[in-house]
Amino acid sequence: MNITSIICDYESHTEDICAIRYEVFVGEQNVPEELEIDGLDDEAKHVLAYVDALPIGTGR
């Protein structure tokens, strides 16, 4: 098992970032979608964590 993390921008990793955040915040924690999408992603630095090639976590 290979665990890695990268610092990335939103534009180049939108699919992985959104998939994780939607599952955790909207799906599991019932955060309304309009609160999860706050318009700050383009300005923020993002971190993505992977196990092998599978994205497993994100933060900004």
Q: What is the pLDDT along the chain (60 residues), one digit of tens a residue?
A: 999 999 999 999 999 999 999 999 999 999 999 999 889 999 999 999 999 999 999 999
3-state secondary structure (DSSP) of residue 24: helix
pLDDT at site 37: 86
Distance CA(1)–CA(12), nearest Å, equals 25
Strand order in the sheet with 54-59: 3-8, 46-51, 54-59
Spatial neighbors of 33 by CB under 8 A, at least 6 apart, are: 22, 26
Q: Which domains can be identified in the chain, with CATH numbers?
A: 3-59 (3.40.630.30)
